[in-house]
């Protein structure tokens, strides 16, 4: 076998191995994401997400909040399969029950989160506003270069 043939076979083998490993890795990541989504429909998953939003200030508050959420979790599982109207009604019920346990700031955070979630504008996995300092859905259109305007480097984007 010539050195060129060996090189081609080696490169083809490495390419096939890379494709195989990529497919396996992609499948693993996909399965983990599906498992996380399924876990959110459990009482533990719902309690975890809502605790993260509220950020309880004491262990007593955390425990009382968790009890209310876990008692309501089966209702969430049913509502996930129904319409958004039912979800908003359940969110209002939960908010009314946990409001005495929370500070005003926690109540506002929870209410804002539940409203955005029931409207489909937010999922727990896509809320990057805390880590990046802004909500990706609120980004403004960037300025665009315009070649045809002499003396100006940039022009404002067209109004919607």
Check whether 11 has a pLDDT greater than 90.
Answer: yes
pLDDT per residue as tens digits for the range 62-86: 999 888 888 887 777 776 666 667 7
Please check whether residue 1 lies inside any domain of the structure. no
Please check whether residue 142 lies inside any domain of the structure. no
Q: What is the total count of domains within the chain?
A: 1
Please check whether residue 126 lies inside any domain of the structure. no
- Quick one: pLDDT at residue 30? 85
Please check whether residue 139 lies inside any domain of the structure. no
The DSSP code sequence of 80-117 is TTS-HHHHHHHHHHHHHHHGGGS-HHHHHHHHHHHHHH
Please check whether residue 108 lies inside any domain of the structure. yes
- Quick one: pLDDT at residue 83? 67
Tokens (6 digits) for 128:
């990057």
Please check whether residue 144 lies inside any domain of the structure. no
How far apart, in Å, are the Cα atoms of 76 and each of 86, 100, 119, 151, 159?
9, 21, 15, 59, 41
Please check whether residue 8 lies inside any domain of the structure. no
Please check whether residue 145 lies inside any domain of the structure. no
pLDDT per residue as tens digits for the range 90-141: 889 999 999 999 999 999 999 998 887 766 555 444 444 444 444 444 444 4
| Through-space distance between the first and last CA atoms of the chain, rounded to whole angstroms | 64
Domain boundaries, position 83: 38-121
């Amino acid at each position: 076998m010539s050195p060129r043939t060996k090189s081609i076979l080696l490169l083809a083998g490495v390419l096939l191995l890379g494709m195989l490993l990529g497919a396996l890795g992609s499948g693993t990541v996909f399965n983990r994401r599906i498992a996380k989504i399924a876990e959110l429909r459990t009482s533990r998953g719902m309690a975890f997400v809502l605790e993260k939003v509220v950020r309880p200030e004491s262990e007593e508050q955390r425990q009382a909040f968790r009890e209310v959420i876990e008692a309501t979790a089966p209702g969430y599982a049913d509502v996930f399969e129904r319409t958004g109207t039912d979800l908003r009604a359940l969110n209002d019920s939960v908010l009314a029950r946990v409001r005495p346990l929370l500070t005003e700031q926690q109540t506002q955070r929870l209410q804002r989160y539940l409203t955005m979630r029931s409207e489909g504008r937010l999922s727990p996995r896509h809320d990057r506003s805390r880590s990046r300092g802004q909500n990706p859905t609120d980004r403004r259109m960037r300025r665009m270069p315009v070649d045809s305007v002499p003396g100006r480097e940039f022009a404002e984007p067209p109004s919607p």
